Amino acid sequence: MDTAGLSLDQAPPITIPFKYFLTAALFSIAVGLLFTLHGGDVMSSRWSPLALGITHLITVGFLAQVMTGAMMQLLPVLAGSPIPKVVVVSWVVHLSLLVGTALLVFGFLSSRELLLIAGGITLSAAFLILLMSTGMALLRSKSHRHTVRTLGFGWTALAPTVILGGYLVAGLAGLTQVAEMQKIVTLHLSWGLLGWTGIVLFTTIFELVPMFYVAPGFPVLIKHWSLPSVFLLLVILTLSNFMPGAFLKASLVLIAMTFFVIGCYVLSIVYRRKRLIVDTTLLFIWTGVGSLLLAVVVWLSGGNDLLLGGLLLGGVCLTIPIGIIYKVIPFLCWFHLQGLLIRREKFDHTVPSMKCFIKEKEAKRQYMLHLIALCLLLMASQLPNPFAMPAGAVFLFSSLYLFKNILYAYIVFHNERRILNS
C-alpha cells in the first residue's frame, strides 16, 4: 500500500470520524425503520412527505455525516493543512447536522412549516461553519495536488444546494413565492447529488483505489478534468434556468455522460489492479458504480423517477460511503496506533493488522444484507406491494449490522490504545 506523503501530525483525533460514522449509521437505521413501517407510502410518489423525509435522512443525515467525518480526517492529510480548531468545529458541526436533520425530517413528515424552517436554518449554519473551516484549510494548503482543487469544487457545490434548499423551505412555508418550483428542485438536487455527492465521492475513489489496491492511476483527463467539468456544467445548468428548457436538458445529458465515462473508468482501473483480492470495500464500490451506470441508462431512457431515486440514493449514496468507511476506519486505527507506538517507544509491542478492526467476514455479511435490501428496494420502486416492507426490514437489519461493525472497530482501537498508553 502506498502511504507516501501521509502525515499523522496533521490528523485530528480519531474519535472525530468515529462520532460522525456512528451517527451516520444511526440515520440509516432510521431510514430502515421508516421504510419498514411505511414503505408502501414512501413509494407512492417521490413528492410524498415520507419520500422527502427519507431522501433527507439519507442525504443530510447519513451522507453528510460520513463525508464530513472522512473529510475532517483526510483533508489535512491530503492537503497538509489542518482544519482550524478542529475539535470545536467538529463538535459544533456534528451537533447542528444532527439536530438540523432531525428538525427538517420531522418537518417533512408532519408538514409543519416551523420545523422545516428551524431545520433549514440549523443545517445552513452547520454547512456554513463546515464550508468556512474547510475553505480556510484549503486556502492555507501549500499542496498543489489536483485532488485538493477538485475536493474544493465538490464542497463548493454544497453552497448552492443549501441556498436552493433554504429557498424551497421558504417557499413551502409561504414566506416567499417560488416561481417554477420544479426547476428549482431540479437545480437543488442536481447540485446536491451530482455536484457535492458525485464530485466528493469520486475524488475519494480516485485516491483510494490506486492507494489500497495498487492499481494504475486514473488518466489525467479523468482524474484532473472530469469532475471540474461536472462543476462547470452545473454552473451552465443553473444559468440555463433563465434560458429555454433545451439548455437545461443538454447540460444534464452531458453531466450524465461524464459520470457514465467516470464509472466505466473506475471499473476498468479496478480490473487492472495488482492486489487481486476482492474485499468488501470493492464489493461496495462495484455495486455503487454499477448502480450509477444503471441510473444513467434509466434516466436517458426516460425511466421511472422512483427507480432512478432508488438507484441514486440507495445504490450510490448509501452504498459507496459504506465501502469507504470500511477502508478508512481500519487504516486510521492502524495509522494512529502506529504513531502512538513510535511516540511511546513501545517497540516490543506490535500494532494489530488492519484486518482486526473490522473483520472481513462481518463486513461481507453486512454487504450481503445491503445488497438484498437494495434489490428489494429496486423491485419495490416498480411494485411497492409486496416488496417495500421487506426492503425496509432487511435494510434496517443491515444498518444495525453496520453500526455494530463500526462500534466493534472502536472498541478494538480503544483497548489497544489503552495498552500502549499504560
Smallest separation, CB 381 to ligand HEM (Å):
12
Beta carbons of 68 and 20 less than 8 angstroms apart? yes
Site for ligand HEM in 227-266 (CB under 6 A): none
Beta carbons of 71 and 82 less than 8 angstroms apart? no
Cα–Cα dist 101/60, whole Å:
6
Residue with cell 436552493: 164
Cα–Cα dist 359/362, whole Å:
5
Cα–Cα dist 340/156, whole Å:
35
Q: What is the dihedral of CA 371, 279, 318, 209, to 10 degrees?
A: -140
* Residue (98 or 363) nearer to ligand HEM, CB: 98
Q: Does 66 bind ligand HEM (CB under 6 A)?
A: no
Q: Does 190 bind ligand HEM (CB under 6 A)?
A: no
C-alpha cell read off for 104 = 427538517
Q: Does 193 bind ligand HEM (CB under 6 A)?
A: yes
C-alpha cell read off for 295 = 441510473
Smallest separation, CB 143 to ligand HEM (Å):
27
Q: Is the dihedral of CA 204, 205, 209, 212 positive or negative?
A: positive
Question: What residues contact 270, with CB distance under 8 A and at least 6 apart?
Answer: 209, 213, 215, 282, 285, 286
Q: Does 124 bind ligand HEM (CB under 6 A)?
A: yes
Q: What binding mask, one character per residue, do residues 94-113 give for ligand HEM by CB under 6 A, x or -?
A: ----------x---------
Beta carbons of 399 and 29 less than 8 angstroms apart? yes
* Residue (153 or 401) nearer to ligand HEM, CB: 153
* Residue (116 or 332) nearer to ligand HEM, CB: 116
Which listed range, 77-85, 191-199, 382-390, 409-417, lies at the site for ligand HEM (CB under 6 A)? Answer: 191-199
Which listed range, 1-9, 49-57, 333-341, 360-368, lies at the site for ligand HEM (CB under 6 A)? Answer: 49-57
For residue 349, the 8-state DSSP code is: S
Site for ligand HEM in 309-328 (CB under 6 A): 309
Q: Does 165 bind ligand HEM (CB under 6 A)?
A: yes
Q: Site for ligand HEM (CB under 6 A): how many residues?
A: 27
Smallest separation, CB 223 to ligand HEM (Å):
23
DSSP secondary structure of 147-204: HHHHHHHHHHTHHHHHHHHHHHHHHHTTSS--TTHHHHHHHHHIIIIIIIIHHHHHHH
Smallest separation, CB 255 to ligand HEM (Å):
15
* Residue (76 or 107) nearer to ligand HEM, CB: 107
Q: Does 172 bind ligand HEM (CB under 6 A)?
A: yes
Amino acid in the structure at residue 279? D
Q: Which of 36, 59, 65, 81 binds ligand HEM (CB under 6 A)?
A: 59
* Residue (14 or 118) nearer to ligand HEM, CB: 118
Which listed range, 183-191, 244-252, 335-343, 412-420, lies at the site for ligand HEM (CB under 6 A)? Answer: 183-191
* Residue (76 or 120) nearer to ligand HEM, CB: 120
- How many of the other CB atoms lie within 10 Å of CB of 167? 18
For residue 386, whether the previous peptide bond is cis, meaning omega lies within 30 degrees of 0, is yes
List of residues contacting ligand HEM (CB under 6 A) = 46-47, 51-52, 55-56, 59-60, 104, 120, 123-124, 161-162, 165-166, 168-169, 172, 185, 188-189, 192-193, 196-197, 309
